[in-house]
Structure 1
Amino acid sequence: MMEFSGKGIVITGGGRGIGLACAHLMAERGGAVVLLGNNAETLQDAEADLRDRGYVATAIVADVSVEEEVASAMQQAAEVLGTIDALVNNAAVQPYGTVATMRPAEWDCVIGVNLRGAYLACHHALPHMLAQNRGSIVNIASVQALANQTRVAAYATSKAGMLALTRSLAVDFGGSGIRANAVCPGCIDAPMTRFSASETAPGCEEEIIRRWGKAQPLGRVGRPEEVAEVVAFLASDRASFCTGAEYKVDGGLMATLGVALPD
């Protein structure tokens, strides 16, 4: 299946985790991918791995919260790819804290990367999509946009904002052939989850992740590749009538009440 043949795809936070899994899958299916991120070493390693597999990949270092860097990165991406057919907004940070304990600078950082970063990427990718009257935007939100655990006030707020951003994109640009959808992963075995586990119980990450997996009806955590399959579908022409929606990839977590009846 070479459904992305001849298409250019930009993935923010593309150097690892879900972003890298998306890059691998979409490149495997014929796409040329540009990986955006702020860690040059991580991006270069990811680019090298993709190229070693025979895929077309380019790494561009940019902080998604800084407009000048995003504008330059999108222009470079358009020049490298020849077009921007799909944008995957995956870049995110998740420090812990409540509204009472988190300092304003920390709050601004989370909103700046997760939500403003998605806006900036869309803002600077859209002219390229509008010029060709087609495009697909996939925002990686979270189940935290729909229901919250403790101490994730800024992260959950940013991800809920991404759902509103997704709807706005769909409504404003559907007539121009541009679709926008969001994916809401649950507990996925990715770097952010492992960071959360280390914050929760240092040295006991594997046990914590196993316990979190048991809380989902499927009884395990998900894999980045499983999220990537949904992202690739939404970015592809197979999802030609899908826009303005959010799709859960959570092992059934959001379908579960927090009350268990005795056997």
Structure 2
Amino acid sequence: MNSRPVVIVTGAAQGLGAATALEFANRGYECVLIDRNGTAMKAVAADIEKLGRRAIQCVGDLSDLAFAESAVTRCVQELGRIDVLVNNAAWRKIGTMRAMQADEWDQTLRVCLTVPAFLAKWCAAEMEPAKRGVILNISSIQAKLASGISPAYIAAKGGLDSLTYELATLYGPSGVRVLSLNLGAIDTEMSADYVSEDGENVSDAIRQFAEGMIPLRRFGRADEIARSIAMLASDDASYMTGACLEIDGGWTHQSSPYPLKNKQFPKEFPSS
């Protein structure tokens, strides 16, 4: 049996997923990468293999539950164990409920909620007999902060948080921990694709507003979030389960943008 710990990371071909897989590899994990972008995944796998770790590449559409289950089966067959599952993959369509189509709603909930639920089920079936394992659901502060322009995504992330409580309660007696990570503004591909109805990319304007709301005054980096994810999977967090943890630079618990604070108290708050 493989003696090294094993992590499964969904959405692992780029952005936070790629950074997370590399962080786990740096910490001695064998990696199972799941994504539909096979070309980008090859580059991530090559970087992992340079570290002397295995990188099993599962290329396919996660909205296909049969494919998702086959990736778990392959992991067990080739590596003999599952220590950590990182439910990172996401899909969403920017738009209001007025314009939302049923197929867009279904796709978002399937990728962001249904697939994480069943991946957790299949991975936990391997973790419980071993009396160990960690399931990390990558959620968002948007689960609690409505924007009006992402109804299915926000509903899915709220459901993912509630699912975390449920799974932690179910699997806790077997030694399996389940956590939800409510991420704020992270510098990834998904933070640069906001387009107005007339086709203008408004990502820079949204970023300026977001940075005005974040006490640390910047977006998070994928590599630093990856370190937080890996830490929460480690024994350093061995008594943490059934919680939703905000990793957002402080955004959630402050109420007004810093440019406004600057207008009120220019000597005390920076304008940029």
Query: Fold conserved (TM > 0.5)?
Result: yes
Aligned partner of 1:149 in structure 2 is: 147
Aligned equivalent of 1:181 = 179
Check the 8 A contact 2:196/2:202 in 1, yes or no. Answer: no
- Report the counterpart of residue 72 of structure 2 in structure 1: 74
> Is 1:250–2:248 an aligned residue pair?
yes
Q: How many residues align?
A: 258
- Larger mean CA deviation between 77-86 and 42-51 belongs to 42-51
> What are the superposed Cα offsets for residues 49-98 of structure 1, whole Å, 9 maximum, x if unpaired?
22234333221113222221111110001222220000000010121122
Partner of 1:108: 106
Alpha-carbon shift at residue 211 of structure 1 (Å): 4.2
Which of 192, 203, 207 pairs up with 1:209?
A: 207
Taking a change above 3 Å as real, the CA distance of residues 244 and 47 of structure 1, as seen in their structure-2 partners, is same
Q: Mark the runs of 5 or more structure 2 residues left unpaired by the alignment.
A: 266-272
Contact 1:210 1:220 in 2 (8 A): no
The residue identity in structure 1 corresponding to 2:116 is A
**By how many angstroms is 1:135 displaced?**
0.6
1:40 to 33, 38, 41: 38
Does the 8 Å contact 2:213/2:254 carry over to 1? no
SS at match of 2:120: helix
The CA deviation at 1:107 is: 0.3
Gaps of 5+ in 1: none
SS of match in other structure, 1:65: coil
How far apart are residue 109 of structure 1 and its match? 0.5
- Whether the aligned pair in 1 keeps the contact of 2:25 and 2:51 (CA below 8 Å) is no
1:18 corresponds to 2:13: no
Distance across 2 between alignment mates of 1:93 and 1:245:
23
Deviation, structure 1 residue 41: 1.5
Residue 193 of structure 2 aligns to a residue whose secondary structure is helix
Write out the 4+ residue segments of structure 1 that deviate beyond 6 Å after TM superposition.
none
Q: Distance in 1 between matches of 2:93 and 2:43?
A: 25
Provide TM-score, normalisation by structure 1: 0.92
Counting aligned pairs with the same residue, the percent is 33
What secondary structure is seen at the aligned counterpart in 2 of 1:98? coil
Offset at residue 203 of structure 1 (A): 5.0
TM-score, normalised on structure 2?
A: 0.89
Task: Supply the AA of the counterpart residue of 2:75.
Answer: A
* Contact residue 64 and residue 120 of structure 1 kept, 8 A: no
What is the one-letter code of the residue matched to 2:254? T
| In structure 1, C-alpha distance between the alignment counterparts of 2:75 and 2:200, rounded to whole Å | 39
> Which segment is superposed worse, 59-68 or 69-78?
59-68
Aligned to 2:126: 128
- Aligned-CA RMSD value: 1.9
* Aligned residues of 1:64 and 1:118 also touching (Cα < 8 A): no
SS at match of 1:167: helix
> Greater Rg, structure 1 or structure 2?
2
Output the CA distance in 2 between the equivalents of 1:166 and 1:204.
Answer: 33
1:120 and 1:62 map into 2 onto residues whose CA distance is: 16
Matches of 1:49 and 1:210 in 2, distance apart?
Answer: 33
